[in-house]
């Protein structure tokens, strides 16, 4: 047999045994799992374990020492690994740098490939949308309806509408993310308002597509890589120097892709762009008085503070403290997962609810009238959960909250 035939033969055997070899970029994660010392510190901190108990979700330690160890048996773990919200708390407390959030995605990918019947049904519908439209949510059928919904939101929030710009060689590509593109359109517009206020030379994508994070989280590695490839081509064609996004998940995933796939472009969340590129002084100068004093607390998205850096929570606090008549109070659980991560809410809303319950109580305890989150997905999730508990606390995306306090252009 030639070398090629050998290779094909081995791949055939592996396929038969339902084993997918690890990708080059997954090796570091795989090796990190071997460092687990089985101490169980992560179990004390995991918000899913805290919310629903170790019987329902066996927790990060179990993922590291049991569920991730035997490739042919990954699919026997489906009822557990799909309950991880990917918040990264375990990795943050782990003394041995075990990459549990990443290994969860890898196991999910193998379940998806070999035993798709064990992937929660709801995730297959998301996958179908991703395949059909390159978006996490089905696009609006009627674009006029979409525009109407957008205008209603802008009117309610008192935000201006600036025409969309698509041009080559702009300094910044503004990438709103699927949630802001299709659903929370006010966040997309707010992002534009922020960039306009500081005369940033920016562009949007002519043809928006998802960064692929939902595909990674539900296990469709192939689609995830495909979406990332399309995006890389589009970004390359535009020739921008920076990417700015309003979504926590997109920021973290695009930062990862930019490094993994050699995009060679830095990715910023709006908060980072404001603090690091615009500067707090210039921002403070522009911030206008709102009509009434607002007491505000912040929810810190996992994808910003644990998948990137905790400095970002401080950026959020800095910005709110710079606002005239906004009073900032920190919630002692500002950094705990909203329950909306890891696609868990799609198929196990009871788990998502269990995870967020403590956060909601902490938000209520602060006594604020408004909670803001620098992520449209967290915002939507917390809003829904607070609404269900009959709370009077209002919820806003942080980019919207900032945009409302910036001067409108003539």
Residues that bind other proteins (CB under 8 A): 37, 39-41, 43-44, 49-50, 52-56, 88, 91-97, 252, 255-256, 259, 272, 276, 305-311
SS3 call for 119: coil
Q: Given CA atoms 169, 170, 171, 172 in this order, what sign does their dihedral have?
A: negative
CB closer to other proteins, 154 vs 305: 305
Q: Taking CA 161 as the corner, what is the angle to CA 155 and CA 167, rounded to the nearest 5 degrees?
A: 160
Q: What does the alpha-carbon distance between residue 409 and residue 163 come to, in Å, rounded to a whole number?
A: 12
Least distance in Å: CB of 312 to other proteins? 8
CB of 101 to other proteins, least distance (A): 9
Comparison of 27 and 37: residue with beta carbon closer to other proteins:
37
Closer residue to other proteins, CB minimum distance, 111 or 243: 243
Q: Provide, rounded to whole angstroms, the least separation between the CB of residue 224 and other proteins.
A: 17
Task: Kindly tell me which of 256 and 346 has the beta carbon lying closer to other proteins.
Answer: 256
**Residue 325 φ/ψ region, left for φ over 0, alpha for ψ in the -120 to 50 degree band, beta for the rest:** left
Inter-helix orientation angle 376-388/349-366, to 10°:
80
Nearer to other proteins, 87 or 227 (CB): 87
- Of the two residues 185 and 258, which places its CB atom closer to other proteins in the complex? 258
**CA atoms of 78 and 53, how far apart (whole Å):** 17
Instruction: Yes or no: say if 145 and 207 are a contact pair by the CB < 8 Å rule.
Output: no
Q: How far is the CB of 354 from other proteins (least distance, A)?
A: 9
Distance CA 260, CA 16 (A): 30
Rounded distance, CA 152 to CA 154, Å?
A: 5
Residue with tokens 């949510």: 137
Instruction: Please identify, using beta-carbon distances, which residue of 209 and 255 lies nearer to other proteins.
Output: 255
Is residue 173 within 8 A of residue 203, CB to CB? The reply is: yes
Question: Which of 44/288 has CB closer to other proteins?
Answer: 44
Shortest distance (Å) from residue 261 CB to other proteins: 14
Closest CA to 406 of 269, 278, 266: 278
> Closest approach of Cβ 252 to other proteins, in Å?
6
Contact yes or no for 304/298 (Cβ under 8 A): no
Closest CA to 173 of 132, 125, 131, 205: 205
User: What are the CA-CA distances from residue 360 to residues 64, 133, 254, 312 (Å)?
Assistant: 30, 34, 29, 21
Q: How far is the CB of 102 from other proteins (least distance, A)?
A: 10
CB of 362 to other proteins, least distance (A): 11
The encoded tokens of residue 132 equal 């059909």
Residue 298 CB, nearest distance to other proteins (Å)? 16
Residue 188 corresponds to which tokens in the numbers above? 């997309």
Closest CA to 327 of 317, 335, 340: 317
Q: Nearer to other proteins by C-beta: 41 or 118?
A: 41
């Amino acid at each position: 047999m030639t070398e090629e035939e050998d290779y094909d033969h081995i791949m055939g055997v592996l396929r038969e045994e339902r084993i997918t070899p690890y990708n080059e970029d997954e090796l570091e994660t795989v090796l990190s799992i071997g460092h687990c010392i089985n101490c169980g510190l992560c179990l004390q901190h995991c918000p899913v374990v805290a919310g629903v108990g170790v019987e329902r979700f066996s927790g990060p330690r179990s993922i590291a020492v049991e569920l991730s160890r035997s490739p042919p048996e990954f699919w026997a773990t489906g009822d557990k690994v799909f309950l991880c919200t990917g918040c990264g708390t375990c990795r943050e407390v782990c003394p041995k740098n075990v990459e549990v959030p990443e290994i969860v995605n890898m196991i999910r990918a193998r379940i998806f490939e070999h035993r798709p019947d064990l992937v929660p049904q709801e995730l297959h519908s998301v996958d179908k949308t991703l395949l059909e439209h390159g978006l996490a949510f089905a696009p609006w059928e009627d674009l006029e309806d979409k525009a109407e919904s957008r205008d209603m939101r802008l009117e309610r929030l008192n935000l201006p509408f600036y025409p969309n710009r698509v041009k080559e060689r702009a300094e910044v590509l503004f990438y709103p993310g699927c949630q802001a593109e299709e659903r929370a359109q006010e966040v997309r517009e707010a992002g534009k308002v922020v960039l306009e206020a500081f005369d940033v030379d920016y562009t949007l994508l002519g043809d928006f597509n998802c960064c692929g994070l939902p595909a990674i989280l539900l296990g469709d590695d192939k689609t995830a890589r495909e979406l990332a490839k399309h995006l890389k081509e589009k970004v390359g064609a535009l020739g921008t120097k920076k990417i700015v996004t309003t979504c926590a998940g997109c920021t973290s995933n695009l930062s990862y892709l930019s490094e993994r796939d050699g995009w060679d472009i830095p990715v910023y969340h709006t908060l980072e762009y404001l603090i690091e590129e615009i500067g707090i002084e210039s921002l403070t100068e522009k911030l206008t008085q709102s009509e009434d004093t607002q007491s505000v607390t912040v929810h810190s998205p996992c994808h910003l503070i644990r998948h990137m850096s905790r400095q970002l929570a401080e950026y959020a606090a800095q910005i709110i403290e710079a606002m005239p008549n906004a009073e900032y109070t920190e919630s002692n659980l500002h950094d705990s997962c909203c329950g909306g991560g890891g696609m868990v809410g799609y198929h196990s809303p009871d788990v998502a609810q269990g995870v967020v319950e403590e956060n909601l109580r902490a938000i209520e305890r602060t006594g604020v009238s408004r909670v803001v989150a620098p992520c449209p997905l967290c915002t939507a999730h917390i809003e829904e959960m607070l609404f269900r508990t009959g709370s009077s606390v209002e919820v806003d995306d942080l980019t919207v909250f900032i945009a409302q306090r910036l001067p409108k252009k003539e």
